């Protein structure tokens, strides 16, 4: 099975890549950190593939997708994970440049990746698109308005896309839950440590994602929580 993951160099994307490769899947991923991409390439040789890429750069995204599809064909799963969090602040105190960059990555970046991969996936008549949403794409909190706006947009974008796909495909907005990542630490500070690590999360999330399919098309889905100790 071939799985494409954006934002693969850290956090949830890296944890998913590690789990999938350990369990025999082929992963093609991208991320902005050249050093971490180099480490992934060293750790996971071909047929896995990792590239330094900013999903906001349309032409580079198209070139990346063309190369990946040429080598592996249409992906079985396309996981749009790359995203930014704003520095917590009231909306009127969030700088315009910071707001714009977040929207460029969290919404336009997802659209860029979809635009690059979907023609081949639709042509093949198969594949599952998983766009990572958030609890903040279905509810709100203060000081994260830009992030909430972007994830509400992902919910709408994905559900509309689901109505456009041919039978046999699926597009799913996925709430990963609350995980102790650098993004959560930015918002929660020391309280982030009380939540599962990305690695522990991936042990639940990665196999759960592989169970998603046409039956889930257009549904808002959440990764199941870990059972209490």
Catalytic residue ranges: 147
Nearest alpha-carbon partner for 166 in 138, 127, 220, 221: 127
For residue 202, what are the CA distances in angstroms to 64, 124, 208?
25, 28, 9
Assess contact for 163 and 181: CB atoms under 8 A: no
Q: Contact at 8 Å (CB) between 212 and 130?
A: yes
**What's the longest Cα–Cα distance across the chain?**
48
> Taking a C-beta distance cutoff of 8 angstroms, is the pair 145, 110 a contact?
no
Segment holding 174, helix H or strand E:
strand 170-175
């Amino acid at each position: 099975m071939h799985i494409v993951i954006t934002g693969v160099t850290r956090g949830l994307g890296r944890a998913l890549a590690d789990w999938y490769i350990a369990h025999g899947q082929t992963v093609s991923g991208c991320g902005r950190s050249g050093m971490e991409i180099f480490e992934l390439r060293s750790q996971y040789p071909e047929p896995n593939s990792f590239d330094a890429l900013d999903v906001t750069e349309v032409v580079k995204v198209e070139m990346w997708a063309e190369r990946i599809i040429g080598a592996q064909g249409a992906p079985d799963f396309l996981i749009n994970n790359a995203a930014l969090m704003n520095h917590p602040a009231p909306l009127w105190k969030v700088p315009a440049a910071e707001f714009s960059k977040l929207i460029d990555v969290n919404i336009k970046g997802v659209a860029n990746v979809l635009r690059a991969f979907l023609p081949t996936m639709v042509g093949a008549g198969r594949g599952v698109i998983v766009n990572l949403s958030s609890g903040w794409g279905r509810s709100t909190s203060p000081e994260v308005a830009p992030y909430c706006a972007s994830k509400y947009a992902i919910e709408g974008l994905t559900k509309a896309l689901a109505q456009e796909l041919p039978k046999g495909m699926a597009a799913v907005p996925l709430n990963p839950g609350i995980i102790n990542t650098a993004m959560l630490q930015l918002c929660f500070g020391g309280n982030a440590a009380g939540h599962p690590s990305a690695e522990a999360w991936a042990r639940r999330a990665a196999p759960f994602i592989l169970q998603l399919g046409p039956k889930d098309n257009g549904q808002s889905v959440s990764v199941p929580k870990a059972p209490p100790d």
